Amino acid sequence: MKCLQLVTLLYIYWVVWFTYVDPDKPAAGLGERLGNGVGSKEGQSCADPRKAISYKELVRATNGFCEANLVGQGGFGYVHKGILEDGKEVAIKQLKFGSAQGEREFQAEIEIISRIHHRHLVSLVGCCITGDHRLLVYEFVPNDTLAFHLHGKGRPTMDWATRIKIAIGSAKGLAYLHEYCRPKIIHRDIKASNILLDENFDAKVSDFGLAKYSLDTDTHVSTRVVGTIGYMAPEYAASGKLTEKSDIFSFGVVLLELITGRQPVDKNHTYIDDSIVDWARPLLKKALEDGEYDAIVDPKLCKEEGHYDSHEMDRMIYCAAACVRHSARLRPPMSQIVRALEGNMSLDELSEEVATLGHSRTSRSQSSSSSGPIEATKCKSVVCCYAP
């Protein structure tokens, strides 16, 4: 008799589980908040033209999210490499259960990244919102991050041509977010570990979980302070007042990493100052005054034959100095940084359009051609941004 009762109870439990807690049953309510079918029937797109991907397919794609396919992890959760049923290689970002902050970041990321399209921004392939599962599926970018190649132990020295290429590519992606999307998008967490590199070392800006919209009529967005120590702009860290100039400061820190090979915050205490910005400011000024760069350039880069192009180094140093100006209003827009890095704008012209560094200099980098659009077209509709 007891055995019969036990079997009956197990059967009832089984029916309830598969009726109400089906692991492939979409979460109710979230779709309405995100729009375009998210959280609706399996097979509908997360945000057109993306598709919703079932949790079962993602389990198969990653071989059960096995450790061998784990390529990254953080406070948000885990990233696994996988292969979808159509043979496409993807990176699958899985949110940890029970994280309210992670849920907000998930919603923000899917809202923004599903509507932006640019060769220097990571692409969303699809998403999965079923039961307690929250997963984002991205194109797989095979060459890890800029931070890995610059600061990873035992890594070969990244050559100068690759560094300037990464600087220009990531600058174009950021310029697109700031100047070609309506409303503009402020990333809020620009750093070397959020710049992915493809097989050709082309840069792709990633991780939009902290990103914010900003209308053209807004002078700033007031928000809680989030980001990464060493990259945050001083005015944002002090007041929580966010503008695109905060991203520009962070990008300046990335440029300093490319120039110097140092990390934003020195964990080994090899320099006295608190951050790479404090350490670099006087060296940037001296380098621009006398044209001698070896005191600030990555020592590993200096040892190589034909180590760097002096005109390109001049442009990158000037752009870095302009981006990390203490006064936010004196930092140039990203489109000007792109033109200056590419040599399509004289550094004196850049200086005249914003402000000088506080010293005179002779022009060493003249404009060679007028710059075209940042591989994008301006959007008239709300967050509908496409790059050709």
Q: Which of 154, 155, 152, 145 has the alpha carbon at shortest distance from 193?
A: 145
pLDDT at 6 (0 to 100): 57
Residue 211 has, within 13 A of its CA and on its CB side, a CA count of 29
Split into its structural domains, the chain has a count of 2
Phi-psi bin for 207: left (phi > 0), alpha (psi -120 to 50), beta? Answer: left
Does 322 lie in the same domain as 283?
Answer: yes
**CA gap 245, 374 in Å, rounded:** 18
**CA gap 117, 275 in Å, rounded:** 34
**CA gap 316, 310 in Å, rounded:** 10
C-beta separation of 181 from 334 below 8 A? no
Statement: the pTM of the whole predicted model exceeds 0.85 = no
Does 248 lie in the same domain as 102?
Answer: no
Q: Is 93 annotated as a binding residue?
A: yes
Does 311 lie in the same domain as 187?
Answer: yes
Domain CATH for 319: 1.10.510.10
**Could you confirm whether 294 is annotated as catalytic?**
no
Specify if 17 maps to a domain.
Answer: no
Specify if 33 maps to a domain.
Answer: yes
Is the peptide bond between 183 and the residue preceding it cis, with omega within 30 degrees of 0?
yes
Does 328 lie in the same domain as 229?
Answer: yes
Domain CATH for 43: 3.30.200.20
Which among 94, 120, 139 is the end of a domain?
139
Does 161 lie in the same domain as 84?
Answer: no
Specify if 16 maps to a domain.
Answer: no
Q: Which residue out of 22, 189, 247, 298 is catalytically annotated?
A: 189
Q: What is the mean pLDDT of each run of 10 residues along the chain (388 residues)?
A: 56 44 41 35 42 93 96 85 96 82 79 89 92 92 96 93 98 97 93 97 94 65 71 90 94 98 80 80 92 91 77 95 94 96 88 49 42 42 38
Domain span including residue 344: 146-386
Does 115 lie in the same domain as 150?
Answer: no
Which among 115, 139, 163 is the end of a domain?
139
Specify if 327 maps to a domain.
Answer: yes
Does 199 lie in the same domain as 115?
Answer: no
Which among 139, 159, 182 is the end of a domain?
139
Specify if 9 maps to a domain.
Answer: no
Does 316 lie in the same domain as 275?
Answer: yes
Does 151 lie in the same domain as 128?
Answer: no
Specify if 1 maps to a domain.
Answer: no
pLDDT at 371 (0 to 100): 42
Specify if 162 maps to a domain.
Answer: yes
Using one digit for the tens of pLDDT, what is the confidence trace for 35-93? Answer: 333 333 333 335 544 478 999 999 999 999 999 999 988 767 899 999 999 999 999 99
Does 287 lie in the same domain as 157?
Answer: yes
Specify if 317 maps to a domain.
Answer: yes
Is the peptide bond between 234 and the residue preceding it cis, with omega within 30 degrees of 0?
no
Does 168 lie in the same domain as 275?
Answer: yes
Does 313 lie in the same domain as 178?
Answer: yes
C-beta separation of 257 from 192 below 8 A? yes
